[in-house]
Amino acid sequence: MRKIINAPENVVKESLEGFIGANAAFYRKHPKVNGVLYKRRRKNKVALVIGGGSGHEPMFAGFVGEGLADAAACGGIFASPDPATIYETAKAVNEGCGVLFVYGCYAGDNLNFDMAEEMLQKDGIPTAHVRVQDDVASAPRSEREKRRGIAGDVFVVKTAGAACDAGLSLEEVTRITEKANERTYSIGVATASAQLPGVEEPIFTLEEGKIEYGMGLHGEKGIRRVDWAPMDELVNNMYAEIKKDAAFEKGDEVCVLLNSLGATTIIELSIAFRHLKKLLEEDGIAIYDSELNNYCTSQEMGGFSITLLKLDEELKQCYDHPCRSPYYSKAPLSGEEREEDKVLDVAETETAAGEASAYVRKDSYEALDAEDVRAMLLYVSEKLIASEPMLTKADSEIGDGDHGLGMKTGMMSVKSAMQKVATDGCASDVFGEAGQAMLTSMGGASGVIFGSLFLAGAQGEKKKTMDAKALAEMFEKSLQAIRERGGASVGDKTMVDALSPAVDAMKEAADKGLAQMLTEGEKAAHAGSDATKDQVAKFGRARTLGERALGFADAGSISTWLIIQAMRDFVIGE
């Protein structure tokens, strides 16, 4: 499939410009980041900010509106927004009563929203969050905290918007929203893969006559592959999974959402609802309201999900609260015209990442000063940008295929930063600038993790120059910060599997000079990355695959190896 776009790296920016331009009566764009702000929001209430990866249209931006969210922080395609985007978006709609964040439970979203909350709390802004965890296929109920957020986002956001509109406290709004989250159950299936803009291959392929069962919202593979079946049989199995988890009782009332993943038609959803309604009636479960629509899509993926919200009187009251956006409405518009916020006019800065690099390499290096680090990181960024197709393919095997584009975006930002960075100061500060560039541009889990690779190690004592020992110490500090932030260890099939042995090798060879130290570190990183082929993932989107992830290396570990390899190549002159 070929998508009609311009440059892949501009898809989100350009699509938001068009989206907001077409709905200018409701929205304006944040002047500095990819944040969608509701113009007519109520004052003196808890601000509701939602967000996540783009490509799930109309979620998330389409659920900003009256009785819904006040703003949405928009990340790259299938990648969470970075902390700066979340922070700036939330600050723009804060009314002094606190901010509630609602987003799907994915590693990247969790890391980036957590960091944004820390930034807001330092500013004295109270925050809370609810991570949508409705996908019953992604983890057992005993491990509910590991469940993904899929189409249940709709019901949770709807509830949160109503609770915020009621003028309740942040604590009370969070309690009600979490109740809706706990009582929302979903499961999805896929019949065809999605394809990311700018990527030539689909995320995965399905053999003829197969269906991916337990499909996630980002296009990641499901938990198992099953034979093609008629709709009634498929709905039987999906409903049985939800019913077992939800422990429904006769007399319960539910709201129903049948959500297309992008390519599945209303005709197919209607056939599914016809049978689901029969099953619910047989169990004595009343349908309070129902929806058949495309609300949480995965580009053009074939397939759909079933979501049930188990109501009580409090949740029913929230569900009945009027809401309106161009893409989702309940009940008539109830509010009068409200004064629009003053539109800020701040020019967005253009990246210089496409410009040619300008640096001089020395014949040999015993230590790196600020100019040396700048030159080396320019080389590293160019190597990783050129590696995007390989990294995309690696991530497509067991993830959602966005890692290559994410690393390319991050390294383009590094390249731009290095073309402007001051080189009359400390070498450690230049590493810090590179880390900050990745952190604020990449989104997804990779933005926080790979930003920390340089940023965390550069914090603390300033170093005018960095020899082998200082560089090894920097990577050791970065490794510690990454472990603390993400919780991964060696053997979990993450970038830590490449970084940890590389750090050990660097420390051992630190007295042998930069070239030998980086050579030993590169060998260890390569071996560690290769070892992930024999590991079962414990983090990220490959976690639900179990042994199906065997035989494939973790894309993050490959990027880690390539970064160290590029540093070695620069220092030794290859």
Sign, CA torsion 223/229/230/236: negative
Please identify, in words, the CATH class of the domain defined by 8-322.
alpha beta
Task: Give the Å distances, CA to CA, from 158 to 141, 175, 269.
Answer: 23, 14, 22
495 three-state secondary structure: coil
Q: Per-domain residue ranges for the chain?
A: 8-322, 367-572
CA-based angle 204:106:49, to the nearest 5? 125
Q: What does the alpha-carbon distance between residue 404 and residue 542 come to, in Å, rounded to a whole number? A: 16
Active site annotation includes 403: no
pLDDT for the residue numbered 198:
86
Cβ proximity of 130 and 102 under 8 Å:
yes
Q: Tokens in use for 350?
A: 């253009």
How deeply is 513 buried, as exposed, middle or buried, from its count of CB atoms within 10 A (0-12, 13-18, 19+)?
middle
Q: Which two tokens stand for residue 165?
A: 């509109």
**DSSP three-state, residue 404:** helix
Q: Hey, what's the torsion of the CAs at 168, 169, 171, 177, to 10 degrees?
A: 30
Name residue 83's amino acid: P
Q: Which CATH architecture has domain 367-572?
A: Alpha Horseshoe (1.25)
* pLDDT, position 343: 35
Closest CA to 165 of 88, 97, 104, 102: 97
Rounded CA gap, 300 and 180, in Å?
28
Q: In the prediction, which pLDDT does 346 show?
A: 31
Inter-CA distances, 91 with 111, 220, 336, 500, 524, Å: 19, 32, 25, 37, 43
Please say whether the beta carbons of 562 and 525 come within 8 A. no
Per-residue pLDDT in tens (0 to 9) along the chain, 574 residues: 678 999 999 999 999 999 999 999 999 999 999 999 999 998 999 999 999 999 999 999 999 999 999 999 999 999 999 999 999 999 999 999 999 999 999 999 999 999 999 999 999 999 999 999 999 999 999 999 999 999 999 999 999 999 999 999 999 999 999 999 999 999 999 999 888 898 888 888 888 899 999 888 876 667 788 999 999 999 999 999 999 999 999 999 999 999 999 999 999 999 999 999 999 999 999 999 999 999 999 999 999 999 999 999 999 999 999 999 999 998 643 334 434 433 333 333 333 445 556 678 888 999 999 999 999 999 999 999 999 999 999 998 888 888 998 999 999 999 999 999 999 999 999 999 999 999 989 887 888 999 999 988 788 788 899 999 999 999 999 999 999 988 999 999 999 999 999 999 999 999 999 999 999 999 999 999 999 999 998 887 788 888 888 999 999 999 999 999 999 999 999 8
Predicted confidence at residue 341, as pLDDT, reads 36
- What backbone phi and psi angles, to 5 degrees, belong to 74? -110, 125
- C-alpha distances (whole Å) from 87 to each of 105, 127, 288 are 18, 11, 37
| Three-state DSSP string of 340-353 | CCCCCCCCCCCCCC
* List 30, 56, 129, 218, catalytic entry: 218
Whole-angstrom distance, CA of residue 389 vs CA of residue 396: 10
Ranges of beta strands (E only) in 78-221 are 99-104, 127-132, 184-192, 210-213
CA distances from residue 201 to 133, 198, 205, 225, 382 in whole angstroms, order as listed: 29, 9, 9, 20, 23
Helix (H, G, I), strand (E, B) or coil at 163: helix
Q: What angle, rounded to 10 degrees, do the helices at 266-282 and 231-246 form?
A: 50
Burial (CB < 10 A; 0-12, 13-18, 19+), residue 388, is: buried
* Parallel/antiparallel/unpaired status of strands 302-310 and 253-260: antiparallel
Task: Name the token pair of 225.
Answer: 């592959």
Q: What is the pLDDT of residue 548?
A: 85
Measure Cα distances from 11 to 15, 34, 75, 221, 440 in Å. 6, 12, 11, 24, 17
Which runs of consecutive H residues, i.e. helices, occur in 297-348? 313-320
Question: What pLDDT does 356 receive?
Answer: 56
Report helix, strand or coil for 520.
helix
Query: Which class for 477: exposed (0-12), middle (13-18), buried (19 or more C-beta within 10 A)?
Result: middle
> Residues 34, 38, 41, CA angle at the centre, nearest 5°?
145
